C-alpha cells in the first residue's frame, strides 16, 4: 500500500535561513507521481509541483527546489532564503499510476513551517 511520511511535524527558522522539508514515500508501483502542496493559514491547498517517477532531475523554481531520489524513496523540498510569507503547512503527496491503490492522492501528515521575522 502507498504511504507518505513527513517526519518533521513542525520547523521554525528565522527569516532568510534555508530550510528543507523531508518526504519519504512507499509504493509498489514503478510508475507514480509525487506532489507538494502548500496550505497557508487561509486553508486552501496550493499546488507547488508534480514529478513523475521517471524524471529524477532536480527542479528549481525561484527560491524553491526539489530533490527527488528514487534510491532512498525521498522527495525533499528546500526553500532558500525563507520569507515570512512561506509560513504554512506543506504536504507531500503520492499518486500511483496503475490500479491497486486508491485513485486519490495519498498525503503525508504535513510539516508546519514557521518563519520568524
Partner 1 sequence: GAGVSQTPSNKVTEKGKYVELRCDPISGHTALYWYRQSLGQGPEFLIYFQGTGAADDSGLPNDRFFAVRPEGSVSTLKIQRTERGDSAVYLCASSLIGRRGEQFFGPGTRLTVL
Q: Interface with partner 1 by CB under 8 A: which residues?
A: 4, 33, 35, 37, 42-47, 50, 52, 91, 93, 95-97, 102-110
C-alpha cell at 74: 525521498
d(CA 105, CA 33): 9
Residues 6+ apart with CB under 8 A from 46: 37, 38, 39, 40
Alpha-carbon distance of 111 to 55, in angstroms, equals 25
Residues in Cβ contact with 56 at an 8 Å cutoff, skipping those fewer than 6 apart: 68, 69, 70
For residue 10, the minimal CB distance to partner 1 (Å) is 10
CB of 77: closest distance to partner 1 in angstroms? 15
Residue nearer to partner 1 on the CB measure, 42 or 71: 42
Shortest Å, Cβ 73 to partner 1: 18
Instruction: Compare residues 15 and 39 and give the one whose CB is closer to partner 1.
Output: 39
Q: Which residue is associated with the grid cell 507531500?
A: 92
Closer residue to partner 1 (CB): 50 or 70: 50
Tell me the closest approach of the beta carbon of residue 108 to partner 1, in angstroms.
6
Amino acid at each position: 500500500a502507498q504511504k507518505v511520511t513527513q517526519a518533521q511535524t513542525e520547523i521554525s527558522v528565522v527569516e532568510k535561513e534555508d530550510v528543507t522539508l523531508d518526504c519519504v514515500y512507499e509504493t509498489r508501483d514503478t510508475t507514480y507521481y509525487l506532489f507538494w502542496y502548500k496550505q497557508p493559514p487561509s486553508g486552501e491547498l496550493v499546488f507547488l509541483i508534480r514529478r513523475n517517477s521517471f524524471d529524477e532531475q532536480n527542479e528549481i523554481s525561484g527560491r524553491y527546489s526539489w530533490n527527488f531520489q528514487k534510491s532512498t524513496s525521498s522527495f525533499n523540498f528546500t526553500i532558500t532564503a525563507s520569507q515570512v510569507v512561506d509560513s504554512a503547512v506543506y504536504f507531500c503527496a503520492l499518486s500511483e499510476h496503475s490500479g491497486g491503490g486508491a485513485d486519490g492522492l495519498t498525503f503525508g501528515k504535513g510539516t508546519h513551517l514557521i518563519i520568524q521575522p
